[in-house]
Structure 1
């Protein structure tokens, strides 16, 4: 049982590190357009901030 617990703890640590890395990768502004396809589908990637806010305020 002790071996199983060690393996489980290692898997949890690896999962946590992967989660932190993914969150940091998503927050990078230079990489974000390649990861977020919603912006491309909605067609809001080339509008100004005011136009973007008007889209969400309607």
Structure 2
């Protein structure tokens, strides 16, 4: 019985920590100045220094 109660306490703490980390990650991704450092997809696609019209042209091809 003690083991199950202790396991539940640890599990609840891990869920709370996971939720806090999820919220923090979402806030970091919403901050526009940090986006280029956190998201490498723009660099992989090669559209990092393009204007909007060049992006649309790249996507439509």
Q: Distance in 1 between matches of 2:6 and 2:39?
A: 40
Q: Distance in 1 between matches of 2:17 and 2:44?
A: 33
- Superposed, 1:17-32 pairs within 5 Å as 17-32=20-35
TM-score w.r.t. the length of structure 1 is 0.84
TM-score w.r.t. the length of structure 2 is 0.80
Q: Could you tell me which residue of structure 2 aligns to residue 55 of structure 1?
A: 58
Range moving further from structure 2, 9-18 or 20-29: 20-29
**Offset, 1:32:** 0.6
Q: Distance in 1 between matches of 2:51 and 2:23?
A: 31
Which runs of 5 or more residues in structure 2 are unaligned? none
Q: Could you tell me which residue of structure 2 aligns to residue 13 of structure 1?
A: 16
Q: Distance in 2 between matches of 1:8 and 1:49?
A: 46
Which runs of 5 or more residues in structure 1 are unaligned? none
